[in-house]
Amino acid sequence: MFATTEYVAFSDDDTHWEASSLREVCVLDSAPHVAVLSGKVLVSETSRIDPMCWRMNASPLDREDLPGPALIAYMAGACVFRTSVFRALGG
């Protein structure tokens, strides 16, 4: 089965997307050179931000012309890919 949408969101077996989470995907519409967005992960009932999110936000990579930090990795269970890029990489 193939995704027929412009974007595809991933989650792990212990994560879920809040109802309003995917509204931010519109960032990809205005940044055609961005292939993947890593979501902000909130942990447990306290909704504290996962420490890895803070580390990725502090990325030392140049973020010029990007809607957020430039990353060399992303959280596979909390990301959104351009479907075309996902397919091009063998997905």
Q: What is the pLDDT of residues 64-85, one digit of tens each?
A: 889 889 998 888 889 999 999 9
Q: Enter the pTM of the model.
A: 0.81
Among the listed residues 72, 49, 54, the one whose alpha carbon sits nearest the alpha carbon of residue 62: 72
Cβ atoms of 81 and 36 closer than 8 Å: yes
1 part of a folded domain: no
Is 40 among the domain residues?
yes
Please determine, for residue 1, whether its predicted confidence score (pLDDT) is greater than 70: no
Distance CA 4, CA 75 (A): 23
Does 2 map to a domain?
Answer: no
Does pLDDT of 20 surpass 70? yes
13: containing domain = 7-88
* Domains in the chain, number: 1
